[in-house]
């Protein structure tokens, strides 16, 4: 039974990742970029309403990155995938990026969430964009419905010169996991 459950979880995660990472035909790259830009704007609008301090900090920062991801956790395993972009506030350059996530720990749920990074320094932004980035050690507990409004967590420092906010969409998640997330440039959209 345990092997069946693990195979089911891994299959679901792979299927979810495949849908998020399905290769866009060349003609659709502009559409994919436009969708990411629109999602970024929507996420920032939500963040600024919930956390006015973020709206004040954003223009002073070297840049920011916004990711929307979808993840699943069933018992001891989980994972997720997403897309987003990083923006240099000085040059206004957009870099389209992807993220992958793996989880190990006790949990049950499906979660769509948005992650917003604020880079206080140009060096922190450049490291994130040019070298990719890995984050580990996340503990989350959230359960909400559309009627309950947004579930927000305050920003916390995740690296030198890097602050992170997380917003959770409608869905149910209750997890206690160690999570590893990898952020990297999207080779198809840049």
**DSSP SS3 for 106:** strand
Rounded to an integer, the average pLDDT of 82-90 is 97
| Separation in Å, CA 54 to CA 12, 31, 32, 49, 154 | 35, 28, 26, 9, 10
Is a pLDDT exceeding 90 seen at residue 21?
A: no
Radius of gyration of the CA atoms of the chain, in A: 16
- Look at residues 166, 170, 172 and name the one whose alpha carbon lies nearest to residue 47: 166
Tokens standing for 47? Answer: 């963040």
Distance CA 60, CA 42 (A): 20
pLDDT-derived band at 26, boundaries 50, 70, 90: low
How much is the pLDDT for 189? 96
Phi, psi angles (nearest 5°) of residue 187: -65, -25
- Look at residues 16, 22, 36, 183 and name the one whose alpha carbon lies nearest to residue 110: 16
- Asked whether 163 and 117 are in contact (CB, 8 A), the reply is yes
Q: Give the range among 16-20, 31-35, 82-86, 123-127 with minimum mean pLDDT.
A: 16-20
Phi, psi angles (nearest 5°) of residue 121: -125, 155
Distance CA 16, CA 1 (A): 22
pLDDT tens, position by position, 96-140 = 999 998 877 777 777 788 888 999 899 999 999 998 877 665 544
- Asked whether 101 and 81 are in contact (CB, 8 A), the reply is yes
- Asked whether 143 and 149 are in contact (CB, 8 A), the reply is no
**Phi-psi region for residue 80, left (φ > 0), alpha (ψ -120 to 50) or beta?**
beta
């Amino acid at each position: 039974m345990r092997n069946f459950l693990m195979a089911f979880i891994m299959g679901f995660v792979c299927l979810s990742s495949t849908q998020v990472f399905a290769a866009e035909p060349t003609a659709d790259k502009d559409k994919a970029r436009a969708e990411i830009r629109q999602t970024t704007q929507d996420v920032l609008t939500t963040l600024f309403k919930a956390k006015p301090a973020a709206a004040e900090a954003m223009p002073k920062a070297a840049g920011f990155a916004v990711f929307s991801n979808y993840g699943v956790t069933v018992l001891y395993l989980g994972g997720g995938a997403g897309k987003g972009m990083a923006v240099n506030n000085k040059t206004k350059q957009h870099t389209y990026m992807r993220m992958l996530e793996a989880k190990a720990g006790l949990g049950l749920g499906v979660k769509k969430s948005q992650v917003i990074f604020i880079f206080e320094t140009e060096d922190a932004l450049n490291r994130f964009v040019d070298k990719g980035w890995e984050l580990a050690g996340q503990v989350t507990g959230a359960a909400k419905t559309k009627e309950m409004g947004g579930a927000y967590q305050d920003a916390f420092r995740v690296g030198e010169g890097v602050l992170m906010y997380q917003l959770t969409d409608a869905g149910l998640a209750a997890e206690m996991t160690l999570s590893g997330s990898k952020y990297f440039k999207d080779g198809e959209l840049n």
